[in-house]
């Protein structure tokens, strides 16, 4: 080994004669992240969130709520009819065929509040869609052409009534609530599909006919 | 740690800045130290890495051989014996940038020339020539000072 290197390594501690300025440590300390700062806050916040979520899960579990409803919605395609206006309409068999297990039902006041809130939000949308449909002129066909949709819609209203009756009889459970929401969603989907179908047909008529052609206009009775 | 920094940079301002950066980094990654006994070596490594980084940003390297400064190794005479180590330290700090860093890493931090070359992004021959240059300058300056001081 290099003899100078050997000598210096042996006496290295004696070479360390310099020391930083007295205020250097204060300045350094002020720039160090304090133990109580963000890192710890984030860790504690994350831990608190985990504990809170676990608590909510436990609470839900002890209340006997089910995450998944007993009944599964069966989607089936519409049987292809000669004049079926659309192929991709689906509906579900919603009404409960058997009395569900009586879980811990909600109090009547609470029940009416929840159903009232659902009614308010969904029925507003459905009404809007219905008004729009009723006001849309039918250029290509009369209202009977879309009877399939109307029948479907009527069936869904019956489904909704059954769910409501079941709620009255057995109390509001998550299962019934899901069914009610499903009926509303299906109604909205159906009306939206009907509107799309009407628009599509009207556009085709507009493309084919000249402005001079007389058009017989019908309106949907839904 | 401060002495490593001041030997590498040659000035107290940069030395304190590097030391501060190193301590902040060490504080942030304190969890990496599994055994308390390994702490000193771990912190030292952080400080040296910071010094190397500083050198890479501040030193303009040039090959001494290419500039025609052919360094011939002198016969090994132990001229450093009886020289106060405080004076050695002082003259190490006064070495010009480039050869100072190489000298400190090689002679005091026990790096090999290959490791120095890799760390500083220079060739191994540059590292060797810079070390020889540092040795030569140290000897000249220290000898001169000791003669002047009587």
Which ranges in chain B are annotated with CATH 1.10.10.10? 64-150
Measured between beta carbons, the chain A residues lying within 8 angstroms of B8 are none
Contact of B24 with chain A, judged by CB distance below 8 Å, is answered with: yes
Most confident among A36-40, A54-58, A110-114, B28-32 (mean pLDDT): B28-32
Contact of B1 with chain A, judged by CB distance below 8 Å, is answered with: no
| C-alpha pair distances (Å), A105 with each of A97, A174, A180 | 19, 9, 16
pLDDT of residue A78: 44
Q: pLDDT tens digit string along A147-157?
A: 888 888 888 88
Determine the residue of chain A that is closest to B135 in CA distance.
A4
CATH, domain range B1-58 = 1.10.1740.10
Quote the radius of gyration of chain A (alpha carbons, Å).
35
Q: pLDDT tens digit string along A162-201?
A: 888 888 888 777 778 778 888 888 888 888 888 888 888 8
Q: Which of A57-61, A95-99, A118-122, B112-116 has the lowest mean pLDDT?
A: A95-99
Bridge partners of A77? Answer: A90
Distance from CA of A35 to the nearest CA of B (A): 10
Identify the burial level of B19 via C-beta atoms within 10 angstroms of its C-beta, where 0-12 means exposed, 13-18 middle and 19 or more buried. Answer: buried
Strand A90-92 relative to strand A75-77: parallel, antiparallel, unpaired? antiparallel
Which CATH architecture group holds B64-150? Orthogonal Bundle (1.10)
Q: Among B2, B7, B135, whose Cβ lies nearest the Cβ of A4?
A: B135
pLDDT of residue A132: 85
Measured between beta carbons, the chain B residues lying within 8 angstroms of A20 are 2, 12, 15-16, 19
Q: pLDDT tens digit string along A201-218?
A: 888 887 777 655 666 788
Contact of B2 with chain A, judged by CB distance below 8 Å, is answered with: yes
Q: Is this prediction's ipTM beyond 0.95?
A: no
Helix ranges, chain A (H): 3-10, 12-15, 22-31, 38-62, 108-135, 147-170, 174-208
The answer to whether A137 and A218 are in contact (CB under 8 A) is: yes
The stretch A7-17 carries a mean pLDDT of 89
The stretch B8-18 carries a mean pLDDT of 91
pLDDT of residue A66: 46
Determine the residue of chain A that is closest to B18 in CA distance.
A28
Quote the radius of gyration of chain B (alpha carbons, Å).
17
Taking an 8 Å cut-off on Cβ atoms, the answer to whether B107 and A9 are in contact is yes
Q: Which of A36-45, A164-173, B82-91 has the lowest mean pLDDT?
A: A36-45
pLDDT confidence bin for B139, thresholds 50/70/90: very high
Q: What is the largest CA-CA distance in chain B?
A: 53
Which ranges in chain B are annotated with CATH 1.10.1740.10? 1-58
pTM > 0.80: yes or no: no
Instruction: Determine the length of chain B.
Output: 150
Distance from CA of A54 to the nearest CA of B (A): 28
Q: Which of residues 56-115 of B touch A (CB under 8 A)?
A: 76, 78, 80-81, 85-86, 88-89, 92, 106-108, 110
Query: How many contacts, defined by CB atoms under 8 Å, are there between A and B?
Result: 65
């Amino acid at each position: 080994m290099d003899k100078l290197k050997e000598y210096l390594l042996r006496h290295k501690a004696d070479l360390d004669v310099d020391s930083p300025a007295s205020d250097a440590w204060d300045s350094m300390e002020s720039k160090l992240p304090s133990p109580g700062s963000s890192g710890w806050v984030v860790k504690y916040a994350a831990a608190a969130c985990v504990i809170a979520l676990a608590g909510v899960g436990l609470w839900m579990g002890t209340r006997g709520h089910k995450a998944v409803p007993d009944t599964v919605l069966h989607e089936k395609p519409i049987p292809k009819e000669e004049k079926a206006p659309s192929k991709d309409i689906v509906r579900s068999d919603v009404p409960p065929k058997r009395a569900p297990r009586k879980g811990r039902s909600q109090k009547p006041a609470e029940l009416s509040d929840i159903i009232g809130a659902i009614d308010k939000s969904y029925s507003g949308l459905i009404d809007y869609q219905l008004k729009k449909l009723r006001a849309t002129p039918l250029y290509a066909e009369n209202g009977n052409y879309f009877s399939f949709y109307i029948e479907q819609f009527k069936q869904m209203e019956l489904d909704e009534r059954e769910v409501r009756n079941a709620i009255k009889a057995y109390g509001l459970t998550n299962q019934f609530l899901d069914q009610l929401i499903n009926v509303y969603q299906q109604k909205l989907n159906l009306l939206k599909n009907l509107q799309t179908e009407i628009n599509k047909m009207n556009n085709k008529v507009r493309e084919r006919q000249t402005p001079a052609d007389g058009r017989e206009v019908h309106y949907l009775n839904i | 740690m401060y002495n490593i920094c001041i030997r590498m940079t040659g000035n107290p301002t940069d030395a304190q800045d590097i030391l501060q950066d190193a301590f902040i980094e060490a504080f942030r990654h304190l969890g990496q130290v599994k055994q308390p006994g390994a702490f000193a070596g771990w912190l030292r490594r952080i400080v040296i890495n910071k010094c190397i980084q500083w050198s890479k940003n501040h030193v303009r390297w040039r090959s001494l051989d290419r500039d025609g400064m052919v360094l011939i190794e002198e016969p090994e005479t132990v001229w450093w014996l009886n020289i106060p180590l405080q004076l050695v330290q002082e003259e190490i700090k006064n070495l010009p940038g480039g050869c100072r860093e190489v000298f400190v890493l090689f002679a005091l931090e026990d790096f090999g020339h290959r490791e120095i070359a890799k760390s500083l992004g220079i060739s191994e021959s540059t590292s060797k020539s810079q070390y020889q240059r540092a040795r030569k300058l140290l000897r000249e300056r220290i000898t001169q000072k000791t003669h002047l001081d009587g």
